[in-house]
Amino acid sequence: MEDKIEPEDYRCQREAMVDRQILARGVKDPRVLEAMRKVPRHLFVPDAHRTRSYHDTPLPTAEGQTISQPYIVAWMTEMLRLKGDEVVLEVGAGSGYQAAILCLLARFVYTIERIGTLAESARRRLEGLGLTNFEVVVSDGTKGLPEHSPYQGIIVTAGAPRVPPLLVEQLADGGGRVLPAGPAPLRGLRVKEKKGARSLPTEEEPGFSVPLVGGMGWGGYGS
Ligand code: SAH
């Protein structure tokens, strides 16, 4: 990622965000912490909310969607246990912030967004940061992206009624998936490894107000 000149104030706020919201709550992976210190979150937040970019909260973005709370981004990312050589699938590109973090930690990131205008602006933001190891795809992410599977990690950033089975099929053995599933407003963030040791139904997270809609999401066969 290119280092851009940015107001010192944002850099300080980002350091404080990592120390007080993320490290303090137990996220330990040094690569994740470094990525969270690097990516300029304020560039992913609309002007109207920019001053709150580093606050401990999700924020509204375009098209009635949200950018997740920083801690949740860090926690979900840590759960993927990325080493750097993985191909990762994200469902729900939204602003592109989570994808930017993933780009710093994995070999390649496919991120799916159902709303074309959001996908386009996410792509522009990621390119603007000099990132090249990603592709933003406009489609229904509940079906995954079979053509590039299997993925060593799958992360869904919108709440599904249940885990979409097509996503599980596209996960590599030993790969991790992390997603919020279950009824709103409290969706448990579920972490599971395919044919691996971990299955952690964890963290009740009220921040996931954005529903995963589509074939295997809300309003589709899955609900
Ligand atoms: N990861 C984002 C936050 C995403 S909010 C960020 O870092 O900003 C959830 C996003 O999921 C929304 O943009 C919404 O449009 C998208 N979404 C919901 N259902 C979807 C589906 N079936 N396929 C792809 N994207 C979906």
Nearest CA to ligand 1 atom 11: 92
68 is catalytic: yes
Ligand 1 atom nearest to CA at 215? 22
**Cα–Cα dist 10/85, whole Å:** 30
Ligand 1 atom nearest to CA at 212? 19
Q: Give 141 Cα–ligand 1 centroid separation in angstroms.
A: 9
The one-digit pLDDT tens for each residue of the chain (223 residues) are 776 667 779 999 999 999 999 999 899 999 999 999 999 999 999 999 999 999 999 999 888 888 999 999 999 999 999 999 999 999 999 999 999 999 999 999 999 999 999 999 999 999 999 999 999 999 999 999 999 999 999 999 988 777 888 998 999 998 988 888 776 655 567 777 777 656 655 555 544 556 676 665 656 544 4
| Residue whose CB lies within 8 A of the most ligand 1 atoms, among 57, 113, 124, 205, for a mutation test | 113
* Global pTM value: 0.91
